Amino acid sequence: MSESTPARTVVVTGAATGLGRAFAEAFAAAGDRVIVADIDEAGAQGAADHISRTAAVPAIAVGVDVADRASADALADAAAAAGGSIDVVVNNAAIYATVTRSLFDEIAEAEWDRVMAVNLKGPWQVTRACAPHLADGGRVINVSSATVYSGSAHWAHYVASKAGVIGLTRVLARELGGRGITVNAVAPGFTLTEASEGLLDDAATYGIDRGAIKRAIAPGDIVGAVLFLASPASAFVTGQTLVVDGGRQFI
């Protein structure tokens, strides 16, 4: 795909680091124009610069607070201005590494509200803002978490927010399906990213014993599921949640 005719315009939130950056790099490698969106604008610019040096299509950095309506609108406008329309939205941004682990009745109310604002309100805000610009047959992919199914103790706000993402995914699939737009979720298991490695001393081995495939989960393991849900091969798949955890739990 030449630089002048990119295949699609793809918005990835939380794309400065971790899974989001892995998604952005994979879409760019496929020839898509990627909007690298993150609350860390400098980090987003650094990721976009790297992608632009290594991919055929330049990436565009946009600073965004996904929980803020005006900021989400500005992101959607920037993406539409770059590509004329938006083809894929990956709602990946979330509060994760800084979440305080504590009993449910000891969680600070302000922290609960901020986790919900980013992790659940954020996908709603970004999808709401992008929907008028989404091409018919476009794709929305929301990143949930396999912890929804295991119900990790001491993490009530994070788990609840990611469960809400699954519910939101199903509603959006119903409401956008008339335009041929599919909305699906990916629920990764504990994946070795910069954020995850900072959470646990045994991050490299955590959960391996529970998996059917007994190795750590790498960002690349999640990328394939997202690319599938953004591809023509998944055109009749919507409202679904794809757990990607090497068989640590069967749903």
The 10s digit of each residue's pLDDT in 47-57 is: 999 999 999 88
Range of the domain at 229: 9-244
CATH number at residue 61: 3.40.50.720
Contact 9, 52 (CB under 8 A): no
Q: Above 90 in pLDDT, residue 216?
A: no
Total tally of structural domains belonging to the chain = 1
178: burial class by Cβ within 10 Å (0-12, 13-18, 19+)? exposed
- More confident of the two residues 2 and 49: 49
Helices 69-83 and 122-130: crossing angle in degrees, nearest 10, is 40
Q: What is the pLDDT of residues 89-126, one digit of tens each?
A: 999 999 988 888 899 999 999 999 999 999 999 999 99
Look at residue 189 and tell me whether its pLDDT is greater than 90. Answer: no
Q: How confident is the model at residue 71 (pLDDT cuts 50, 70, 90)?
A: very high
Examine residue 37 and state whether it is found in any structural domain, yes or no: yes
Judge whether 250 lies within some domain.
no
Q: Is residue 1 part of a domain?
A: no
Q: Of 96, 149, 158, 206, which residue is the catalytic one?
A: 158
Residue 251 lies in a domain: no
Cα 87 to chain centroid, rounded? 15
- In sequence order, the β-bridge partners of residue 139 are 88, 182
pTM recorded for the entire structure: 0.93
Whether residue 206 lies in the annotated active site: no
At residue 28, the pLDDT reads 97
Q: Is residue 249 part of a domain?
A: no
pLDDT mean across residues, the chain = 92
Measure the CA–CA gap between 50 and 153, rounded to whole angstroms: 38
CA distance 169 to 151: 19
The answer to the question of residue 94 being in a domain is yes
**Residue 4 forms part of a structural domain:** no
| Domain-embedded: residue 187 | yes
